[in-house]
Structure 1
């Protein structure tokens, strides 16, 4: 997030009223109830306050604050595990006397998991830190966080006004700075991609070999990468010899991130354009690639727009728009997981129907099985769906 609309948080401390800028990566409203806590505050007390909706502004030692957040996390996990056990027993008893199908239980389980994740996020976001106008903390043993916060939140007004943010958002900024420094290794390409804060990191990239193996169309002078993100797909197309590539994204952060990655690879010929889906004033494309969000659900934070697509709006909009931007005998490469199908959130017939409605047909499909940790984790409540997931490159062409 770049700071555009100013929001403020107010609290009382030492019989004095304080006002500071409010920063939130998820655009959460400024907290209304704030108490001061320090190194003497117990984890049980902090957890109780957080669950009651009270935010805590930390004073004391930075590393103690981090340990307090970890302790709150453990209490959340204990509560979640107990709740999951109760729900599991209840579901088992219900299953004995019910004919409810997976078409109902799996979507319900998915939404329950999302609600649990959102609740966890709300509780953890209650622990707050104050930084000065240069993103410097007064807490003891606090590291230098100024560059990470500047990259994440942009510059603050030089008015000597402090800012307040959740410790969790600060950890996100520090983590993003680490990713940006070390990069994400893409083994199939023999290079690294460097994500920026607020841009989805391609930690799952099992689809890269599919893009390397798919035969290029007979003519491949012009290609579009729709929703480029870090620029990974555009880089793959450039490595395969396509000379004119136009990469689009609606997120300014993604465009900056992609430009950085293009420059690192010496790919000056890739054009970037801020656009909702397709570029304007561009030649027709021989190849259009897109890796849209895979799950049809409503995003709850800016970063979730890379994962969740409410009502499959982007996917349907992409399919509907491709034909008018495609050259004769051109192809569309759609990268899509079928996890939504295993979760009963979308059917294969629906997907094929949207393809047909857009005047397109399936030329071929390349498949691969993901090997990420969650697909192997049998303790994951959604393991049955995740272990069956297939990621595909759908090659489409105009009817």
Structure 2
């Protein structure tokens, strides 16, 4: 057995074990029972809520239907709870209650487990071929393992996005996001970068490049050399593939770095995670920035990496302000403390479906949200 976490269970009177895989970083369930097509949804739901994991030995498609049934029961329970729970006292409380409900839902649905062979085949009736999707997300595999069905379905969905890509009008092309790398489905921030006048076309740094979408856009706008950084290996691989596909890799150097590369540039661009909250899984670090660490790190180091008369472009939503998680005064104080001044700010309203969904528990904040490009310079 490798150094990975191990999950154990009893089957046919014997104690068995396998490698445990969880992209969310959750530990293996302590209690595991064997389940198959004879298990009804009510019993499965009760067991999952109690923390008992169900290692599936039945038909794969029946497992999918069972997962859907579990999700319906969670939604039904949530609907009943809303009738008796008081309205959140503040947007901040609404946010934390929403995150708490999301986390509980994820834990419950993650209790339905699947076995995987060493080659990513699923040894169940009517199981699909997921080898390509698993290889793309997990890399090579050398031994059997157990993972949740919910994670697998998310992985399959991400694989389809990777194959299809996301159309980016400003690029006149597509970006193909990897599993675990934030997809640029919200295009308003890209339009801000496309429309803001460039201070120089000689050199730019793209901090936290992710899929490489902003590096590709800067290249398309005529910046001769771009250094794109990220800490995550998946993001680095994803960015290189997208830049190659778009014919921009000759202008862009993709390197692994914590925020800034060495040297200075006349333009430094950063689109950090917008919400200062604790992620529930490593994948959520693209959305949630605990204590605004990346944002504050970017601001603190920006002046030292700008050439004279250079500009730092900070792309940031004010959703956190509407949720009461960060104030505008705090942001301006961090900018000032970093020896920076604001040259200007361009705003755009989001046009994603959640902004107009009145059933969303965070609708009040989402409907007021504005995404901005802050043009910063050293004092």
**RMSD of Structure 2 on Structure 1 (CA):** 1.2
Matches within 5 A, 1:214-233: 214-217=196-199, 219-233=200-214
Structure 2: give runs of 5+ residues left out of the alignment.
Answer: none
Deviation at 1:299?
A: 1.4
Note the alpha carbon deviations across 1:220-275, whole angstroms, 9 max, x for none: 31100000000011011001100110000010110000000000011122001111
Bigger Cα displacement from structure 2, 287-296 vs 206-215 = 206-215
Q: Distance in 2 between matches of 1:33 and 1:10?
A: 8
What does residue 188 of structure 2 align with?
A: 206
Bigger Cα displacement from structure 2, 252-261 vs 148-157 = 148-157
Q: Distance in 2 between matches of 1:256 and 1:333?
A: 24
1:264 alignment partner, one of 235, 238, 245: 245
2:357 alignment partner, one of 370, 377, 381: 377
2:164 alignment partner, one of 175, 179, 182: 182
Deviation at 1:187?
A: 2.4
Matches within 5 A, 1:214-253: 214-217=196-199, 219-253=200-234
Matches within 5 A, 1:1-399: 5-87=3-85, 90-91=86-87, 105-157=90-142, 161-217=143-199, 219-267=200-248, 268-280=250-262, 283-399=263-379
User: Helix, strand or coil for the counterpart of 1:386?
Assistant: helix
Structure 1: give runs of 5+ residues left out of the alignment.
Answer: 93-103
Q: Distance in 2 between matches of 1:17 and 1:153?
A: 27
Q: Distance in 1 between matches of 2:290 and 2:367?
A: 24
TM-score using structure 2 length: 0.97
Deviation at 1:75?
A: 0.3
Q: Distance in 1 between matches of 2:292 and 2:151?
A: 28
Shift in CA distance, 312/5, structure 1 to aligned 2, threshold 3 Å: farther
TM-score using structure 1 length: 0.92
Deviation at 1:202?
A: 1.2
Q: Distance in 1 between matches of 2:87 and 2:91?
A: 12
Q: Distance in 1 between matches of 2:292 and 2:238?
A: 25
